[in-house]
Amino acid sequence: MPSVLSRLASKLALKLAQYYYSALACFYLFWRWIRTAGAALKHKERQIPRKLLDNYTHKFSILSGTRGGSRSTTSRIDTALRSKIHVHMGIAYEGVVAIDQRGYGDSSKPPNITDYSIPALTKDIDDLIHDLGYNSAVVMGHDWGGAVAWRHALSYPQSVDQLIICNCPHPAAFGQMLRTNEQQRSHSWYMIFFQTPHVPETAVAADDFLMLEKMFWSKYGLKNKENFTQEDMEAWKYTFSQPEALTSAINYYRCQYQYPEKGLKLGKCIPKTLIVWGDGDKFLVRENAELSVQWCENATLRMIPGASHWVQQDEPALVNERIDEFLQTCNRPKSNY
């Protein structure tokens, strides 16, 4: 009985927090609407920025997945390819593919919250690797891309040569931090706010996506703010101003909270793993990184002093150097699995 009451109390506390943050957002939006005579809530028409077109070949892969057991869905995934990417130290890597996951960019934006489940997202990645003609790949991700990369390595280790993660904890580590670390819970308030329909989308888009600017350029953003230019910001604003783009992105959070996987047991990550972590992250406490190493069979943690959550934007040369060093030491035979 005490455990039941504890769970009920926890759910009630989360719901009250959601209503509290949503009420604050509504008051703020109303105030901005009054102060600007409605201009704060109007959307600006945008043309696609040149930054999204230069130096990339955009292609699309049509992937089939499953939802709810037997119901099938199809995802159209945008894959931006460069035949050769030169990174720090002058080392070249062939066949680098940067994707827009479902819900992002020009990829499909399924309408249902359940379309953004972690199993569906990870199957997209596994299907994409094979659709591109490979049996396995080095998989790299940051933030939500990192969360999907972790689960892809846990669910499909045979298709991951090596795993590279930037500022995203192993899912078991993050779950533990949410349960036991008050600071992490306070940093994750926005995840609760995002459970409310419509209001988060309006709040993010208000004042010409002012929240995006604060995410990168405020005290919570990059240390080296010059590394994220106005041109970069315009690309982000264009992307999230497209129909259903914000709802699709926020549905990642809604699905994990509203439709958690039942009976999920997370094990250790088998593929060799590099965790690059900016220790100035204002959203994820440092203990996430240290605990994530314990959830790996073979992991290297490289801290980037002072770098923010956006570690790859904050210290691109240093992050690339760490990746180079890691990939040069990797020579794991596929037969390990």
Token readout for 31 is 């105030």
Question: Which residues touch 214 (CB under 8 Å, ≥6 apart)?
Answer: 220, 221
Q: Name the 3-class secondary structure at 285.
A: coil
* Annotated catalytic residue 143: yes
Distance CA 109, CA 239 (A): 13
At CB < 8 A and 24+ separation, what contacts does 221-230 make?
Answer: 221/308, 221/310, 222/308, 222/310, 222/313, 222/314, 223/280, 223/306, 223/307, 223/308, 223/314, 224/313, 224/314, 224/315, 227/313, 227/314, 227/316, 228/310, 228/313
* Annotated catalytic residue 253: yes
Provide φ and ψ at 144, rounded to 5°: -65, -35
Instruction: Give the H or E element holding residue 58.
Output: strand 57-67
Catalytic residue of the set 104, 253, 281, 314: 253
Name the pairing type of β-strands 299-304 and 160-166: unpaired
* Annotated catalytic residue 309: yes
Question: Which residues touch 103 (CB under 8 Å, ≥6 apart)?
Answer: 109, 110, 116, 245, 248, 249, 251, 252
Catalytic residue of the set 143, 207, 232, 279: 143
At CB < 8 A and 24+ separation, what contacts does 210-216 make?
Answer: 212/236, 212/237, 212/240, 216/310, 216/313
**For the chain, how long is the longest CA-to-CA vector?**
65
Q: Which of 72, 68, 74, 108 is nearest to 255 (CA)?
A: 68
Catalytic residue numbers? 143, 253, 309
